[in-house]
């Protein structure tokens, strides 16, 4: 019988499948419901934008506050990092915007892309830690698969004109067409190597990595379909946002439940209500002062004039802070409280303390 104790799931079977698999299923259900939107180069409709971008993408950025800024003890533990990051980010973003809006949005787009890719690699790293996998071969196969799953669609985007953009028109550079042709066989080889290893493990009754397999499979499917298979802003938004934001919010929820302050049900309600409210305020400020795209949702545009040079960088601070801190707050070596959640040696004890065992 295949062995799955201690390594098959990061949180629990039910929560992992719901967060990683459920978010991908939601993406494809909405793709199927999109119909003609999959073949239309226009903007994502308001209902879809509100569901995906406002309630998931922007909201998950603000969920970092529950991990850091809404916890006075955590802020006191590393005040320079937590309080200095948004201040330094704001100054840097002002300087960047002064260099030109094209430079600003291009840098922000590539920073976001790096963050999206690294988050998927981070999930695999957490699974390895949970399973106690320390060998170099496992890490190399994992990294090759996840970077191929995200990297090839990105290279394809850089070599084939798409009707959608990351933030604004022209924010991504162009690459010679041959780079896509070279990348494709490497993409296939990396995913085949990962799939082959998983099949061998399953057939031999070895240790399963079912949750990790789910992350790789959903990442590969969503990134390929959203960028390569369809040339549609709607398709890209549906496949890009849910698998990124929903698992992250689940991670924040699990972390908060491990803190003995209030019941997890109350905390979940507070978490969602807070991040949705903050996301709405942020997008209202963006739309009224910069985009003026959705007056039905946010009201008429403001005329901010010269304040734009300071307001746009200020509005970008939350996401840049999220991108930067994400590289620190989930490292077990620097965050003692995470060991009980993501360590193979203390996994059972830590998950029980967090109440996660009740989910699976």
Residue in 213, 355, 294 with CA at minimum distance from that of residue 46:
294
User: Residue 336 has which token pair?
Assistant: 């003692």
Is the pLDDT score of 41 beyond 90? no
Is the pLDDT score of 91 beyond 60? yes
Residue pair 49/233 in contact by the 8 Å Cβ criterion: no
Percent above pLDDT 90 for the chain: 73
* Whole-angstrom Cα Rg for the chain: 21
Residue pair 313/99 in contact by the 8 Å Cβ criterion: no
Compute the average pLDDT of residues 94-102: 97
Distances (CA, A) of 118 to 102, 141, 331: 24, 16, 13
Interval 135-156: pLDDT, tens? 999 999 999 999 999 999 999 9
Residue of higher predicted confidence among 270 and 357: 270
In angstroms, the CA 237 to CA 328 distance is 27
Task: Tokens 């990051």: give the residue.
Answer: 85
Contacts 24+ apart (CB under 8 A), 335-342: 337/258, 338/255, 340/258, 341/254, 341/255, 341/258, 342/10, 342/126, 342/129, 342/130
Q: For the chain, what are the domain ranges? A: 13-359
Lowest mean pLDDT among 1-5, 17-21, 208-212, 276-280: 1-5
Determine the pLDDT at residue 260: 65
pLDDT band at 205 (very low <50, low <70, confident <90, very high): confident
Residue pair 141/197 in contact by the 8 Å Cβ criterion: yes
Compute the average pLDDT of residues 240-266: 82
Residue in 325, 328, 331, 323 with CA at minimum distance from that of residue 115:
323
Compute the average pLDDT of residues 178-190: 97
Determine the pLDDT at residue 263: 53
pLDDT band at 7 (very low <50, low <70, confident <90, very high): low
Is the pLDDT score of 264 beyond 70? no
Compute the average pLDDT of residues 219-233: 96
pLDDT band at 357 (very low <50, low <70, confident <90, very high): very low
The maximal CA–CA distance of the chain, rounded, in angstroms, is 67
In angstroms, the CA 161 to CA 15 distance is 38
User: Residue 129 has which token pair?
Assistant: 């830690």
Residue pair 222/52 in contact by the 8 Å Cβ criterion: no
Is the pLDDT score of 344 beyond 50? no
Determine the pLDDT at residue 36: 77
Average pLDDT, the chain: 89
In what helix (H) or strand (E) does residue 267 lie, and over which residues does it extend? helix 264-286
């Amino acid at each position: 019988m295949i062995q799955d104790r201690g390594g098959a799931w990061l949180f629990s079977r039910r929560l992992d499948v719901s967060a990683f698999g459920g978010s991908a299923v939601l993406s494809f259900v909405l793709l199927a419901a999109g119909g003609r939107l999959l073949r239309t180069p226009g903007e994502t409709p308001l209902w879809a934008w509100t569901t995906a971008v406002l309630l998931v993408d922007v909201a998950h950025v603000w969920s970092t506050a529950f991990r850091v800024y809404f916890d006075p003890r955590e802020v006191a533990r590393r005040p320079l990092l937590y309080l200095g990051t948004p201040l330094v980010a704001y100054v840097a973003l002002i300087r960047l915007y002064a260099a030109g809006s094209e430079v600003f949005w291009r840098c922000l787009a590539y920073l976001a892309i790096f963050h999206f890719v690294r988050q998927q690699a981070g999930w695999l790293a957490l699974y390895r830690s949970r399973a106690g996998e320390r060998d170099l071969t496992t890490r190399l196969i994992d990294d090759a698969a996840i970077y191929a799953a995200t990297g090839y669609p990105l290279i394809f985007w850089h070599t084939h004109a798409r009707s959608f953009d990351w933030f604004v028109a022209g924010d991504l550079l162009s690459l010679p067409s041959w780079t896509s042709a070279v990348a494709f066989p490497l993409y296939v080889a990396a995913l085949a190597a990962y799939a082959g290893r998983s099949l061998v493990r399953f057939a031999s009754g070895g240790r399963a990595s079912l949750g990790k397999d789910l992350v790789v499979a959903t990442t590969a499917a969503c990134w390929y379909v959203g960028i390569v298979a369809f040339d549609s802003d709607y398709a890209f938004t549906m496949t890009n946002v849910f698998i990124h934001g929903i698992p992250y919010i689940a991670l924040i929820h699990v972390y908060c439940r491990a803190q003995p302050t209030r019941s997890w049900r109350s905390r979940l309600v507070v978490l969602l209500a807070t991040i949705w409210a903050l996301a709405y305020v942020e997008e209202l400020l963006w739309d009224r002062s910069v985009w003026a795209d959705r007056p039905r949702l946010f009201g008429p545009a403001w005329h901010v004039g010269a304040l734009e040079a300071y307001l746009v960088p200020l509005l970008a601070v939350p996401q840049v802070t999220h991108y930067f801190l994400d590289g620190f707050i989930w490292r077990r070596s620097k965050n003692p409280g995470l060991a009980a959640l993501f360590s193979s040696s203390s996994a059972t004890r830590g998950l029980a303390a967090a109440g996660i065992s009740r989910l699976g």
